[in-house]
Structure 1
């Protein structure tokens, strides 16, 4: 890539520190500058157009350039550009969105608290779990169970619940009250000769054994994504969530469902909890709640969770927490409009209707000599690659991700997989276009 001295690429490398990259490599090579977007496509500053096959960061449900959301933001900016929810004050957009979310919730919920990102939301939910344990006089019931390859964010508590090594290394994470149980990915962790049913039984025993070792009276909550996203699109085996919930109820352990990626239609129901029969005490939402047009997240909590926290705040005199931007009126106005559009345009039903085409397209790609297998649910999936004979782990997927980009498709490589999570507005014809380009990329790798 030729970089002019005063180009945006050169100024980016000179002034901006990026996330989730090898910083020295970024200094040497720079990155892709995206300049505009429309529908499922984005265009770089050289005029090349790409299918955004990961919806940005698993998040742009309505695609790029939804003018109605821009208009809602403009109107709200003109009416009330900012206000807070501190100290007995509020505003209409946050009230309206909270009411809608309570009505849409997959199980009865009591209250909604807004934050600005999935990391913030999971971090605060963790603080509230600890606050609640103190309110109940259970001073030792503070440990949190996460899962290997689970992802819940990168703040200190959320990053500790996360079970991905790169998010821990050199950050002095995880915190010592965070513990992790087995990853429910049969394709990665099933043993030779082990059926999926036997795999599920082993994972549930792992969880029971962990609780017994640590002591149920020391464990406050279990965190889990219904379908794991940033771990590589890992769909749980049959019977897994039913078994987990029985174990948690038996041991008086709260269930926090992280639907930051799955929520608002991604797997063909409004919330993944509906399809997978999960009944959480706390539901964490973000990303598609606003199509990421503005930073927004929400924590939904049931009455069992909320009431002890409210009692403790009265005893102390205040719930001593707050973010300046929580429930920001422009963000919640856009979120409200975005969720209404998802409902009105039938985008949840679109994900369900296109699931078979999407998954069969992935399965066809998995027949390629370089591929190993495919997996997915709804409109989220992954293509697992065969490791390169003389390469390092992940090299095959990294090579395919670059080959896809050359063919006009932006994906994300995680481990030996490349992942797909297109905007919910995608059509059947666009799915064909996307996978045809990935097929060309596979063929190009073979030729080279």
Structure 2
């Protein structure tokens, strides 16, 4: 029997939780920690015996659902055989070599090699170093700046946190670092001028990117990093024509494209990768989350033939590739990833996300479109969001002090549904496991609708 009180006391006294109001938690004002004890399919259970629908798949990551014993068995087999060895100086394991081969074959663009880490943040740190390394080796020592997008999310470490375009992640942390620039968000709902079509808006965003490159000097711009679908910045698919316009600018100025597939990769959008869905041809690809469905920490920086060729050709001149982590290519994590990708392929989860995603988007529109506080319903595959506004005609936002999105998320949780209040605006985000059924989607939408109606009633009484 779990001693809930003791665990909660130990946690409160000793754990520094990410994205938690420290004083409120330490004092008990925001309640006890949720002690998660188990999970199956799209559900998790806590120590108090409550069951929740996890409509956010952990943090966009548990694509195959909870409790898959096939993955646990693969982890155990590898742990019994060899729990750890490093990958420095050309050491490897069977699981790692197998995983690398399948990632190179399935990745968007013309992939050549994979460098492994443990999180999307460190993978994007690696991508930044690769951009600098690549341009140094080519004899372009000034071509180092990296352009990200406002509201883009690329991690929380020092440089990946700088590439993240959400000020919440910078405040009081001395970020962003020099060398990172931010261009406009590809979100038509908030960014378009009156009467501007999606195609016209995309052309304007591309023109703004080109102006930024010209203003800074093309000889100083090394790369552009972006998520195929905006994730933490609001779950917003790109407008029509966006990616062809952006890629044309990047090619014109010899700027590398880093596709951050941490959220979109391995089926989430209804395609193997978001890049595949939108015709993106990246030079570097970042993967994590769905790579192991969160069963083990693992990330990858996938390197194109173009970039790797420069690195190899310079090896006799510069020596060994001097970058690595103790846990790069960890054999247990590689075994977990292979087991997860076996499930993704066998159960055709990308196709499932596409088909069930159509049902999901339709049901959200059926239930939420008539509510006067709903400004936009958006998504693709099994990524979706509902954005709330005070006045849908003028797009006037709620007073931030009301925390409408956070209140709806909390009420939903009280009803047994985990849906995320996104950090930019009053937005309720969804990213359920890819194994979710249409009947479970209906329950998710109904619970979210009930929570929204409850908060609307509360607001009406103010």
Once the two structures are TM-superposed, the CA of residue 191 in structure 1 deviates from its matched residue by 2.4
Partner of 1:423: 433
Once the two structures are TM-superposed, the CA of residue 8 in structure 1 deviates from its matched residue by 2.0
Partner of 1:21: 20
Partner of 1:340: 342
Residues 131-142 of structure 1 correspond to what in structure 2 (within 5 A)?
A: 131-142=133-144
Q: How many angstroms apart in 1 are the aligned matches of 2:64 and 2:238? A: 27
From 305, 309, 312, the equivalent of 1:310 is 312
From 402, 409, 412, the equivalent of 2:417 is 409
Partner of 1:191: 193
Once the two structures are TM-superposed, the CA of residue 447 in structure 1 deviates from its matched residue by 3.3
Residues 81-230 of structure 1 correspond to what in structure 2 (within 5 A)?
A: 81-230=83-232
From 29, 54, 62, the equivalent of 1:52 is 54
Identify if the C-alpha distance between structure 1 residues 311 and 171 changes in structure 2 by more than 3 Å, giving closer, same or farther. Answer: farther
Segment drifting more, 199-208 vs 69-78 = 199-208
Once the two structures are TM-superposed, the CA of residue 366 in structure 1 deviates from its matched residue by 3.4
Q: How many angstroms apart in 1 are the aligned matches of 2:303 and 2:409? A: 38
Secondary structure at the counterpart of residue 266 of structure 1: coil
Once the two structures are TM-superposed, the CA of residue 423 in structure 1 deviates from its matched residue by 0.2
Q: How many angstroms apart in 2 are the aligned matches of 1:313 and 1:179? A: 31
From 235, 250, 253, the equivalent of 1:251 is 253
Indicate whether 1:375 and 2:378 are aligned.
yes
Secondary structure at the counterpart of residue 433 of structure 2: coil
Q: How many angstroms apart in 1 are the aligned matches of 2:124 and 2:65? A: 25
Identify if the C-alpha distance between structure 1 residues 39 and 244 changes in structure 2 by more than 3 Å, giving closer, same or farther. Answer: same
Once the two structures are TM-superposed, the CA of residue 307 in structure 1 deviates from its matched residue by 1.8
Q: How many angstroms apart in 1 are the aligned matches of 2:402 and 2:89? A: 49
Cα shift readout 1:340-375 (whole Å, capped 9, x = no counterpart): 110001111101111221101221223223322210
Cα shift readout 1:218-273 (whole Å, capped 9, x = no counterpart): 00100010001111101110100000000000000000100000000011111111
Secondary structure at the counterpart of residue 447 of structure 1: helix
Secondary structure at the counterpart of residue 110 of structure 2: coil
Q: How many angstroms apart in 2 are the aligned matches of 1:341 and 1:163? A: 34
Once the two structures are TM-superposed, the CA of residue 393 in structure 1 deviates from its matched residue by 5.9
Q: Is the 8 A contact 1:115 1:325 kept in 2?
A: yes
Identify if the C-alpha distance between structure 1 residues 27 and 366 changes in structure 2 by more than 3 Å, giving closer, same or farther. Answer: farther
Q: How many angstroms apart in 2 are the aligned matches of 1:445 and 1:177? A: 43
From 66, 69, 81, the equivalent of 1:67 is 69
| TM-score, normalization by structure 2 | 0.93
Indicate whether 1:321 and 2:323 are aligned.
yes
Q: How many angstroms apart in 1 are the aligned matches of 2:95 and 2:256? A: 30
Cα shift readout 1:15-61 (whole Å, capped 9, x = no counterpart): 10010122222223243222211110011111111110000000001
| TM-score, normalization by structure 1 | 0.96
Q: Is the 8 A contact 1:141 1:219 kept in 2?
A: yes
Q: Is the 8 A contact 2:61 2:289 kept in 1?
A: yes
Once the two structures are TM-superposed, the CA of residue 309 in structure 1 deviates from its matched residue by 2.0
Q: How many angstroms apart in 2 are the aligned matches of 1:393 and 1:427? A: 36
Once the two structures are TM-superposed, the CA of residue 9 in structure 1 deviates from its matched residue by 2.1
| Unaligned 5+ runs, structure 1 | none
Once the two structures are TM-superposed, the CA of residue 377 in structure 1 deviates from its matched residue by 0.4
Q: How many angstroms apart in 2 are the aligned matches of 1:366 and 1:358? A: 13
Q: How many angstroms apart in 1 are the aligned matches of 2:440 and 2:131? A: 43
> How many residue pairs get matched?
445
Partner of 2:394: none
Partner of 1:399: 407
Secondary structure at the counterpart of residue 24 of structure 1: helix
Secondary structure at the counterpart of residue 152 of structure 1: coil
Q: Is the 8 A contact 1:366 1:383 kept in 2?
A: no
